[in-house]
Structure 1
Amino acid sequence: MKLLYAVCHLLSLAPWLVCCVPPIWTQPEQVHLSYPGVPGSMEVTWTTFNSTNSTVEYGLLGARLFDTSVQGMSTLFVDSGDEKRAMYIHRVVLSGLKPASTYVYHCGSDEGWSEVFYFTALNDSLLFSPKFALYGDLGNENPQSLARLQKETQRGMYDVILHIGDFAYDMHEDNGRIGDEFMRQIQAIAAYVPYMTCPGNHEATYNFSNYRNRFSMPGQTEGLWYSWNLGTVHFISVSTEVYFYLEFGLDLLFRQFAWLKQDLEEANRPENRAARPWVVTMGHRPMYCSDDDQDDCTRFDSYVRLGRNDTRPPAPGLEDLFYHYGVDLELWAHEHTYERLWPVYKDKVYNGSTEHPYVNPKAPVHIITGSAGCRERTDRFNPHPKDWSAFRSTDYGYTRMQAVNATHLYLEQVSDDQDGKVIDSIWLLKDKHGPSAWL
């Protein structure tokens, strides 16, 4: 009897004894890919909660499994919440990949390996016609489009995913645990194709630290702004948030603007524009929109479009810059709707013609795609939009895009509410690119 009592007493203390032993968290999770911008490369990023080595083992599909091993590095990220939770972000760059070849890989260390994933190396040919899914404002509560995107990505429908700001809702919440859960959810997408991002307003807490630490984008600005090339497209990703969170440094706004001007000048050098005629931008908050949000969409005076006159010196907006350097297509989110605009500049429509508005248009085309699904639900539209609003939908969904060749670019909107139905589509056709295309 005494022995039984002693055993029961020890069992009752077991939870307390376990609590005194620090957990060992060396298992990789939150695996995702990004394109570093260098042909024949791919970057693998993942998380552990204890310090481990950073290794990716990979090989060509059908060849010897994991015949190549590459070492990378990890950085300690301490979330700024009350618990000061620590995590290790691992990054490994794979190089010398064969274009359009499929590779099988896993990541981790001898203290724990991820499951097996695969990806197809991006084709650096100018004849490549890449396919994209693009959206913003995807949370891990009410992520309505997530399952369809996971399935379509694993079926090989996309070469790249563009997430145009606002992740998880919000990554910093519950001391970063919401961010962890979101990164686990998108692993079913982002471990298979490059997941290219830009920051949104929901990333602003702690000076965008969760965004800056969790993602690995090209350039040296922690993913705030950068550019990269694929097929016939020069992509530019910007932070619209530099216009709104001045407490993090007004200099960021001017640094981004100066970088943008230089990048666009380089993209418009005759040999570069001939090779990559399409210039496509993505940023979170749109220049134009017609939601009934009592904000930019109803006042039509977007800081992103027009700049700010309440700073010293005044901060320039992006519309004139993008127009003068011949940006073809501008992708936005933030509004929890889908909206396609007619070609527009300075609040006026510049269609190519009445019959064919997107054939040789005389101004950039804007697409707003922020209805992937989040806890804030979808937005309402202003019942009286301006003339530049061409098509609007409050359905949950996302956008597909294909850069077919130097003259043809295709976009379509998928409604998740309507079981994947394509509810809108356009062909953007341009015989001429650059500033002279507006003449």
Structure 2
Amino acid sequence: MGVFNLLKFPVALKLYLCTQCKSFRLKAPDNCLNSPGSMAVTWTTFNETESKVEYGLLGGRLFEMIAKGGATLFVDSGKEKRKMYIHRVTLTDLKPAATYVYHCGSDEGWSEVFSFTALNDSTSFSPRFALYGDMGNENPQSLARLQKETQLGMYDAILHIGKPACHSLFQDNARIGDEFMRQIQSIAAYVPYMTCPGNHESTYNFSNYRNRFTMPGQTESLWYSWNLGSAHIISLSTEVYFYLDFGQELIFKQYEWLMKDLEEANKPENRAVRPWILTMGHRPMYCSDDDQDDCTQFDSYVRLGRSDTEPPAPGLEDLFYRYGVDVELWAHEHTYERLWPVYGDKVYNGSKEQPYVNPKAPVHIITGSAGCREKTDRFNPNPKEWSAFRSMDYGYTRMQVVNATHLYLEQVSDDQYGKVIDSIWVEKEKHGFSAWF
């Protein structure tokens, strides 16, 4: 793709699905609509311009519809105090599964032409995802393969599980952030690009992350949930457990939000139509990497909480177990690791022969090897019994929520030219807390 004139033209584009907004508010504008048939387009300019998207159905009259939005001035906190305008326009009343052609900008300059397919709003829809974390500007090895597969229509949404740019968006007075957004444009301009914060986004109180990304809800993209097909997907911030200088109260606010969200998702009428509950967060509860990190050197704060806060901060493992979370997706470790169903540091397989058929605990997947300058990690040679499969290859994960009872996961090795090196079916006759017994 051509490089835009940075003085006038958009420098980064991103689409995301705007679904049910939550009532929780965290110093964020109400920029989400209560409509599942909507898509938001986000882009950046370095001068103040109008925020317009011209679009139309594929095969119809080009750009016959116009949507307008607004721009927010973002001043990076680096020495240069660089200014940029973050534009957001929401397209509404989209026809489910219809393909639209669009461009964004203003009469001062337009992006090139892109397309996207509006998400199917049926609960019987079988969405396909690519998921990964820790993909950066330097050595983004999996990027080319992901770009091609996205443009071939292989995915309905992308889950970037923390650490966009792999090293910090704020670096070089936020120019690294600009470059990363340009890199992912060839993916994010075509499918919803859903994110959660990672540890490298923490500088200036996560300001680059909070301003550059547009997720559902009103929590500045720090945590949120959305629905697709038969799945309820929750994105959370593991970083609230580590950057206490930004406010210990964030641990408790997120925990309260998660509890309310899970209660709502577990109402019988909701769990009946969206039985799968999936979570994504950057730092895993379990891992067997040999890097002296939080899940190898000591028990995970995310899993068990922190006793050094006042009051003590609760962890998330018991909460997720109590509300029957089915699959937990993580990154941070620059490897791929699949776990047996695990709870309380113990394995709870469905059976010896079929461990993922009616598992008795959540299934954890760590997928942080998409590629960045820190290279891949090494593994502890003696993992605990919950570690089922491990790979140091660069790569990413594919997932399909097939129906109410079947979910498929596979790991792609970019080192081995796209070979699928691991795969599982998770099969569940029932969901929720009672499924564990």
Aligned to 1:421: 419
Cα drift, residue 73 of structure 1? 0.4
The question of whether the paired residues in 2 share the 8 Å contact of 1:288 and 1:300 is answered with no
Match of 1:105 among 98, 102, 113: 102
Letter in 2 for 1:152: E
Match of 1:174 among 172, 175, 199: 172
Larger Rg: 1
Aligned to 1:386: 384
Secondary structure at 1:139 match in 2: coil
Q: For residues 44 and 249 of structure 2, what CA distance do their matches in structure 1 show?
A: 31
Aligned to 1:88: 85
Q: How does 1:257-296 map to 2 (within 5 A)?
A: 257-296=255-294
Cα drift, residue 162 of structure 1? 0.2
Cα drift, residue 296 of structure 1? 2.3
Q: For residues 414 and 139 of structure 2, what CA distance do their matches in structure 1 show?
A: 12
Cα drift, residue 297 of structure 1? 3.1
Aligned to 2:318: 320
Structure 1 residues not aligned, in runs of 5+: 1-22
Secondary structure at 1:330 match in 2: strand
Q: For residues 296 and 207 of structure 1, what CA distance do their matches in structure 2 show?
A: 21
Q: How does 1:29-68 map to 2 (within 5 A)?
A: 29-37=11-19, 38-68=35-65
Q: For residues 152 and 359 of structure 1, what CA distance do their matches in structure 2 show?
A: 30
Cα drift, residue 24 of structure 1? 7.8
Secondary structure at 1:34 match in 2: strand
Deviations 1:213-248 (A, max 9, x none): 000000101110000000000000000000000000
Q: For residues 423 and 46 of structure 1, what CA distance do their matches in structure 2 show?
A: 36
Q: For residues 109 and 314 of structure 2, what CA distance do their matches in structure 1 show?
A: 49
Deviations 1:31-67 (A, max 9, x none): 1101111311000000000000000000000000000
Deviations 1:188-211 (A, max 9, x none): 000000000000001000000000
Aligned to 1:10: none
The question of whether the paired residues in 2 share the 8 Å contact of 1:332 and 1:368 is answered with yes
Q: For residues 356 and 300 of structure 1, what CA distance do their matches in structure 2 show?
A: 31
Match of 2:220 among 215, 219, 222: 222
Using structure 2 for the length normalisation, give the TM-score: 0.95
Is residue 192 of structure 1 aligned with residue 174 of structure 2? no
Q: For residues 79 and 437 of structure 1, what CA distance do their matches in structure 2 show?
A: 48
Is residue 309 of structure 1 aligned with residue 307 of structure 2? yes
The question of whether the paired residues in 2 share the 8 Å contact of 1:227 and 1:237 is answered with yes
Aligned to 1:235: 233
Is residue 28 of structure 1 aligned with residue 26 of structure 2? no
| Count of residues in Structure 1 that have an aligned counterpart in Structure 2 | 417
Letter in 1 for 2:197: P
Q: For residues 57 and 298 of structure 1, what CA distance do their matches in structure 2 show?
A: 50
Cα drift, residue 295 of structure 1? 2.2
Cα drift, residue 174 of structure 1? 0.3
The question of whether the paired residues in 1 share the 8 Å contact of 2:6 and 2:45 is answered with no
Secondary structure at 1:299 match in 2: coil
The question of whether the paired residues in 2 share the 8 Å contact of 1:136 and 1:371 is answered with yes
Using structure 1 for the length normalisation, give the TM-score: 0.94
The question of whether the paired residues in 1 share the 8 Å contact of 2:339 and 2:364 is answered with yes
Secondary structure at 1:376 match in 2: coil
Letter in 1 for 2:303: R
Letter in 2 for 1:196: M
Q: For residues 65 and 313 of structure 1, what CA distance do their matches in structure 2 show?
A: 58
Deviations 1:294-352 (A, max 9, x none): 12232350000000000000000000000000000000000000000000000000000
Alpha-carbon RMSD = 0.8
Q: For residues 356 and 66 of structure 2, what CA distance do their matches in structure 1 show?
A: 48
Cα drift, residue 83 of structure 1? 0.2
Structure 2 residues not aligned, in runs of 5+: 20-34
Runs (4 or more) in structure 1 with deviation over 6 Å come to none
Q: How does 1:364-403 map to 2 (within 5 A)?
A: 364-403=362-401
Deviations 1:238-283 (A, max 9, x none): 0000000000001111000000000000000000000100000000
Aligned to 1:18: none
Q: For residues 296 and 250 of structure 1, what CA distance do their matches in structure 2 show?
A: 18
Aligned to 1:356: 354
Match of 1:158 among 143, 155, 158: 155
The question of whether the paired residues in 1 share the 8 Å contact of 2:142 and 2:396 is answered with yes
- Assess, with a 3 A threshold, how the Cα gap between structure 1 residues 432 and 57 changes in structure 2: closer, same or farther: same
Cα drift, residue 97 of structure 1? 0.3
Q: For residues 52 and 242 of structure 2, what CA distance do their matches in structure 1 show?
A: 39
Q: For residues 170 and 145 of structure 1, what CA distance do their matches in structure 2 show?
A: 19
